[in-house]
């Protein structure tokens, strides 16, 4: 997930969304916030959750591609984009609860979920806390335990201070949409606190029944061993030609790909996402 200033650079690097149909933006009251979202496409509902310091446009063209086959609800979470910040910690349980409340508010009983980075961890927490609301989860660049983060990133967390963000182009980009452009410092303080929140969900992931497509770069912010461990917790990783059915969950590693390079590889992402959502698998000899 995006859990550092290096990862937040994705906000500045992604391209505008190319939607299948013109998105319709609206607000809904969720847990004391006016949560902004955009609805586009048609078909079964699919919720899109952005990464840290990002917003809907920063997710690039993936939203439009998903809207070719689904009714997409792209959300902006607490303090991000056009959704106002509130005096409450930004944590994964809180954000997952906000998504669940959003679904209730707009009348979505169950949906597929695509999350990137912080949004992937939020989607995973949603599936753990509210499994009845998640049909299938696509989690791009996700961790389920901080022990799985790259060592150099873990070493960086204690050094993080608001001044890494304040006065940078990231603040300028944030102010373009923020309801209160002067509230960047308290927002950043909440985001830094998120880095220190406990994250050790292995026992819960092991019991998760929701199918998960894990997507990550081979140079992502979590180790490859961690991603394989998560896949095994979800029932994957055994030989598929030995008489056992394939696991419902899947693992895809993008080559030559860092964390911030994951979200813009739309064609490659859709090559994994489309068959997963359809329940299609490549045919083997047996």
Q: For the segment 19-37, what is each residue's pLDDT rounded down to a tens digit?
A: 346 899 999 999 999 999 9
Count CB-CB contacts under 10 A for residue 201: 19
Q: For the segment 184-228, what is each residue's pLDDT rounded down to a tens digit?
A: 999 999 999 999 999 999 999 999 999 999 999 999 999 999 999
Q: For the segment 231-277, what is each residue's pLDDT rounded down to a tens digit?
A: 999 999 988 888 788 899 999 999 999 999 999 999 999 999 999 99
For tokens 């753990």, name the residue.
128
- 3-state class of 215 per DSSP? strand
For CA atoms 15, 41, 91, 126, the dihedral sign is: negative
For CA atoms 92, 93, 98, 103, the dihedral sign is: positive
Tell me the pLDDT of the chain averaged across its residues: 93
- Predicted pLDDT of residue 197: 94
Q: For the segment 71-82, what is each residue's pLDDT rounded down to a tens digit?
A: 999 999 999 999
Q: Average pLDDT of 53-63?
A: 97
Q: How confident is the model at residue 16 (pLDDT cuts 50, 70, 90)?
A: very low
3-state secondary structure 247-264: CCCEEEEEEEEEHHHCCC
- Predicted pLDDT of residue 19: 37
Q: Average pLDDT of 99-122?
A: 98
Cβ(87)–Cβ(151) below 8 Å = no
Given a cut of 50, whether residue 2 has pLDDT beyond it is: no
Comparing CA positions, the residue from 73, 9, 65 lying closest to residue 36 is 73
CA distance 63 to 159: 34
Cβ(215)–Cβ(262) below 8 Å = yes
Share of the chain above pLDDT 70, in %: 92
Cβ(144)–Cβ(199) below 8 Å = yes
Q: For the segment 211-221, what is each residue's pLDDT rounded down to a tens digit?
A: 999 999 999 99
Cα angle 116, 122, 126; round to 5: 130
Count CA within 13 A, CB hemisphere, residue 27: 12
Given a cut of 80, whether residue 41 has pLDDT beyond it is: yes
CA distance 119 to 52: 7
Q: How confident is the model at residue 284 (pLDDT cuts 50, 70, 90)?
A: confident
For CA atoms 82, 88, 93, 98, the dihedral sign is: negative
Q: Supply the DSSP symbol for 61.
A: T
CA 219 vs CA 46, 117, 209: distances in Å:
28, 14, 28
CA distance 55 to 95: 15
């Amino acid at each position: 997930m995006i859990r550092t200033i290096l990862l937040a650079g994705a906000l500045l690097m992604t391209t505008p969304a190319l939607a299948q149909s013109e998105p319709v933006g609206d607000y809904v009251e969720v847990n004391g916030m006016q949560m902004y979202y955009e609805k586009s496409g048609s078909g079964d509902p699919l919720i899109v959750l952005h990464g840290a310091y990002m917003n809907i446009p920063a997710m690039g063209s993936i939203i439009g591609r998903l809207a070719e086959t689904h009714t997409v609800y792209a959300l902006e979470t607490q303090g991000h984009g056009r959704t106002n910040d509130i005096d409450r910690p930004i944590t994964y349980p809180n954000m997952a609860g906000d998504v669940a409340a959003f679904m209730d508010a707009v009348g979505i009983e169950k949906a597929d979920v695509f999350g990137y980075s912080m949004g992937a961890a939020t989607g995973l927490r949603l599936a753990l806390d509210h499994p009845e609301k998640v049909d299938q989860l696509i989690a791009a660049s996700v961790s389920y335990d901080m022990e799985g983060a790259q060592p150099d990133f873990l070493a960086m967390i204690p050094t993080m201070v608001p001044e890494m963000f304040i006065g940078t182009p990231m603040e300028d980009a944030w102010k373009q949409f923020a309801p209160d452009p002067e509230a960047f410092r308290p927002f950043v303080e909440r985001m830094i606190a998120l880095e220190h929140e406990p994250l050790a969900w292995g026992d819960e992931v092991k019991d998760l029944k929701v199918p998960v497509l894990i997507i990550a770069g081979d140079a992502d912010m979590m180790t490859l061993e961690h991603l394989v461990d998560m896949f095994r917790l979800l029932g994957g990783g055994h030989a598929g030609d030995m008489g056992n059915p394939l696991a419902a969950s899947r693992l895809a590693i993008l080559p030559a790909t860092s964390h911030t390079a994951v979200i813009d590889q739309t064609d490659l992402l859709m090559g994994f996402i489309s068959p997963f959502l359809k329940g299609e698998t490549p045919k083997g000899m047996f």
